[in-house]
């Protein structure tokens, strides 16, 4: 079976391509390389020993998307990662985010709705929950007003898919609400490649560990959490990639209970910023330079998933520990700096 992976050279996409190929799927990747390097293709190929098909294409080009689907009528499913993802940048450039994250989704759904039976997996995010009233967060927790245009594109994206599935019965879709993906493939052939100053905690930590950044700022240590720092649900990117494979298989087997479903993808365990730093220090054997800085406006205090639905219905469970993920992120950072 052939699966289209949009954004398949990006962080989560590349790991998912590996797991799809390992599970026996043929993969065609679309990526415009706006936030990825073409060398990722070599990384994927060196792990799986099979080069995925690749098409450099900007999904904002509706005509090219149409032509792509005309030329690839054998696609059995689509996993849609391609999007812009920097929260801060989305506040500065909202229209870029609405165009890149919403238009591309609409163009893909338009093509799929022409096809008859089709299967679609969407990269959503736990940001849709904001600061949830109850922890752990279940899929039934209310969606809170988005804090940024980026977050809003995920909420609107989910609504667009839901509305589309209501009228196109042959379109089967799943939104996966990721918690905080971290780490890299254990081979260190692929990993996260942040451009410029990393927006996320773990690449900032590993770059600080390598001496590329002077010190990490821990934003706030006076939150109402056990050690005063914010808590997130950090999931190893390989576990997250595998969740896509099982979600896709659910659709391909027709095992879905409705033609649009939503699943949390996390570990179910919250870790504080200090615990992540301690984990880094354990796996790297070195102390991290960090300072306590004032709270950042808009930061959610605590978020971790209730993963019961994914565990029971997808038969999927995250297996890697925080230390496993941090060790893989550190190995990857050392490898790319050597390069
Ligand atoms: N990384 C996270 O923490 C996180 C958390 C929740 C949800 N998500 C979502 O998961 C998805 C993947 O995230 P990621 O971390 O792998 O990001 P990423 O930036 O590494 O990957 C996205 C890929 O899409 C490509 N792309 C972007 N716009 C495109 C376009 N118009 N046409 C073709 N290709 C395009 C980029 O070049 C990149 O390779 C995104 O939708 C993101 O919003 C990510």
Determine whether the shortest distance from the Cβ of 125 to ligand 1 is under 6 A. Answer: yes
Residue in 130, 330, 117, 321 with CA at minimum distance from that of residue 235: 321
Rounded-to-integer distance, Cα 212 and Cα 233, Å: 26
Determine whether the shortest distance from the Cβ of 150 to ligand 1 is under 6 A. Answer: no
Ligand 1 center–CA 90 separation, angstroms: 13
Residue in 239, 140, 144, 125 with CA at minimum distance from that of residue 182: 239
Q: Using the predicted structure, report yes or no on whether residue 160 has a pLDDT greater than 90.
A: yes
Q: Using the predicted structure, report yes or no on whether residue 196 has a pLDDT greater than 90.
A: no
Q: In this structure, are residues 316 and 248 in contact, taking their beta carbons and an 8 Å threshold?
A: no
Mutating to test ligand 1, I would choose from 82, 149, 180 the residue with most ligand atoms within 8 A of its C-beta, which is: 82
Q: In this structure, are residues 128 and 144 in contact, taking their beta carbons and an 8 Å threshold?
A: yes
User: Cα angle at 237 between 235 and 240, to 5 degrees?
Assistant: 75
What does the pLDDT look like over 311-328, one tens digit per residue? 999 999 999 999 999 999
Residue in 240, 332, 325 with CA at minimum distance from that of residue 275: 325
Determine whether the shortest distance from the Cβ of 272 to ligand 1 is under 6 A. Answer: no
What does the pLDDT look like over 22-67, one tens digit per residue? 999 999 999 999 999 999 999 999 999 999 999 999 999 999 999 9
Q: In this structure, are residues 35 and 207 in contact, taking their beta carbons and an 8 Å threshold?
A: no
Q: Give the ligand 1 atom nearest the CA of 58.
A: 32
Which residues are annotated as catalytic? 150
Determine whether the shortest distance from the Cβ of 209 to ligand 1 is under 6 A. Answer: no
Question: Which residues are CB-contacts of 318 (< 8 A; sequence separation ≥ 6)?
Answer: 235, 236, 239, 240, 265, 266, 267, 268, 307
Query: What's the average model confidence in pLDDT over 171-196?
Result: 96
Ligand 1 center–CA 219 separation, angstroms: 25
Determine whether the shortest distance from the Cβ of 104 to ligand 1 is under 6 A. Answer: yes
Ligand 1 center–CA 83 separation, angstroms: 4
Q: Which residue has the tokens 């804090």?
A: 147
Rounded-to-integer distance, Cα 82 and Cα 122, Å: 10
Determine whether the shortest distance from the Cβ of 14 to ligand 1 is under 6 A. Answer: no
Q: What is the pLDDT of residue 339?
A: 80
């Amino acid at each position: 079976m052939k699966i289209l992976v949009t954004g398949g050279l990006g962080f989560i996409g590349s790991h998912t391509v590996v797991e799809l190929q390992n599970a026996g799927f043929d993969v065609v990747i679309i990526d415009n390389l706006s936030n990825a390097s073409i060398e990722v293709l070599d990384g994927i190929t060196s792990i799986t020993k099979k080069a995925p098909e690749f098409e450099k294409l900007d999904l904002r080009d509706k005509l090219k998307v149409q032509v792509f689907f005309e030329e690839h009528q054998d696609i059995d499913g689509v996993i849609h990662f391609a999007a812009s993802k920097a929260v801060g940048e989305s506040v500065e450039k909202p229209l870029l985010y609405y165009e890149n994250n919403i238009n591309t989704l609409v163009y893909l759904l338009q093509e799929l709705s022409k096809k008859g039976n089709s299967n679609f997996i969407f990269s959503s995010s736990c940001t849709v929950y904001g600061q949830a009233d109850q922890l752990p967060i279940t899929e039934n927790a209310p969606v809170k007003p988005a804090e940024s245009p980026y977050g809003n594109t995920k909420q609107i994206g989910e609504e667009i898919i839901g509305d589309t599935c209501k009228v196109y019965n042959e379109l089967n879709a799943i939104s996966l609400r990721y918690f905080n993906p971290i780490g890299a493939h254990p081979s260190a052939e692929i990993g996260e490649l942040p451009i410029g100053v990393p927006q996320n905690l773990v690449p900032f930590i590993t770059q600080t560990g390598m001496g590329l950044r002077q010190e990490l700022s821990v934003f706030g240590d006076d939150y109402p959490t056990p050690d005063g720092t914010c808590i997130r649900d950090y999931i190893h990117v390989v576990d997250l990639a595998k969740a896509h494979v099982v979600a896709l298989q659910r659709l391909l087997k027709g095992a879905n209970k409705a033609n649009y479903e939503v699943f949390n993808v996390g570990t179910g365990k919250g870790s504080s910023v200090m615990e992540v730093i301690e984990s880094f220090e354990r796996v790297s054997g070195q102390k991290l330079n960090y300072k306590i800085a004032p709270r950042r406006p808009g930061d959610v205090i605590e978020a971790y998933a209730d993963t019961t639905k994914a565990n029971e219905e997808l038969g999927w469970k995250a297996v890697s520990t925080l230390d496993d993920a941090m060790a893989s992120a550190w190995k990857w950072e050392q490898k790319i700096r050597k390069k």
